[in-house]
Amino acid sequence: MPITKPDIFLGISLLLFIPMIPIQAYADFGSRQNLYFYIVVLIFIAAMIDHLLNLISLSKTYKDVVMLIITCCLIFFQLSDGITFTFFTDPKINPETLNYFDGYTSTAEWINENVKPDEKILALLRDANILHILTTGNRTILDINTCIGDVSFVPAKSCAPPYITFWVYKGTTDPDNPRDSILGISEPAFISSIRQNDVKYIIISPKIYYLYYYLKVHPDFEEVAQLSYNVIFRVIYPVQPIANFPDIKWENCIGKGTPEYLWNLNQTYPARYEMMLKTRFGPWMGLSKQDMSNVLNWKGCEFDPIYPGEYALP
């Protein structure tokens, strides 16, 4: 039987897909991702092997038996728990470039062991996506609203003062920086998200590490685990604004560089600043022109937006 172009392409695909099986087994993704991954891979491998077997002079019965054995082996590897590959026990990887999930595996393991599948978790969007992949069960991990407004992958969610914190991405003061996003965590929006979704746990990561201070001193949140760069808090209902606890010492802080950034933006691009007041700070973040003027002339508490390397009370 002559070799056709589809056979060549399928043969190349076979070489590309088969190595993904042990790599995926070593990565140990969650069961939902495994299911979709294996369905796609099985379809491709079945089609490729079927075409390759057609090139061999075997009876149809033998070909069917070979296909059945291969399919059963693949399904066995997927359903088996704890299978290891000796040649992967000491993987040769560069942790600086390939260890993408570093710091999340221990968090995912803690969630699998301590959080019921139907209990909801609140985390930063990027962290939620990674943990959704690494955890088992069809878990609901909601994203913490950072009041960033309407972006390509997240619709705008309304925010309102008072703000737990308010900062510019990585503390930049340059309005020409391509990633000069202004972010904030609104206490009313934060508490509303917890109540409406019956959230049981909150995960704090370095990108929003200042929220740790708020949760640590707030009586309605209990720190239950600190794993690598992530801290997990348990929610204690009913959740109230921190102002309802007059004995708690708490001061709202903004990120260092935020007043300078807004000042530079207003001086360099006044039209852009006015547009942000009308289209973003007002409708999305609930901040008036006077509120922004107060930030421009801020004399209160400030924090470094760059994670200091540890979680501790200031």
Domain map (residue ranges) of the chain: 5-88, 105-303
| Structural contact between residues 253 and 210, judged by C-beta atoms closer than 8 angstroms | yes
Do residues 217 and 248 make contact, with C-beta atoms less than 8 angstroms apart?
A: yes
Query: What is the predicted pLDDT for the residue at 83?
Result: 45
Q: Which helix (H) or strand (E) holds 253?
A: strand 253-255
In angstroms, the CA 149 to CA 216 distance is: 27
Can you give the pLDDT at residue 157?
A: 73
* pLDDT by residue, tens only, the chain of 314 residues: 566 666 676 667 667 666 666 665 555 555 555 555 666 666 666 676 776 777 776 677 777 777 777 777 766 765 554 444 433 444 444 444 345 566 788 899 999 999 998 999 999 988 888 888 888 877 889 989 888 765 545 566 778 899 998 888 888 888 888 777 888 899 999 999 999 999 999 999 988 888 999 999 999 999 999 987 899 999 999 999 999 999 998 888 888 999 999 999 999 999 998 888 888 888 888 888 888 888 888 888 888 888 877 777 66
Cβ-based neighbours of 241, under 8 Å, separated by 6 or more: 162, 187, 188, 191
Cα–Cα distance measured from residue 248 to residue 235, given in angstroms and rounded to the nearest whole number = 18
| Residue 120 β-bridge partners | 199
pTM: 0.69
Nearest residue to 205 via CA among 282, 290, 269, 126: 126
H or E element, residue 109: helix 105-114
Cβ-in-10-Å burial (0-12, 13-18, 19+) of 106 comes to middle
Q: What residues are paired with 143 via a beta bridge?
A: 123
As a whole number of angstroms, the distance between CA 150 and CA 108 comes to 29
Helix (H, G, I), strand (E, B) or coil at 201: strand
3-state secondary structure of 216: helix
For residue 244, how far is the Cα from the chain centroid?
Answer: 31
Peptide bond into 19 cis (omega under 30): no
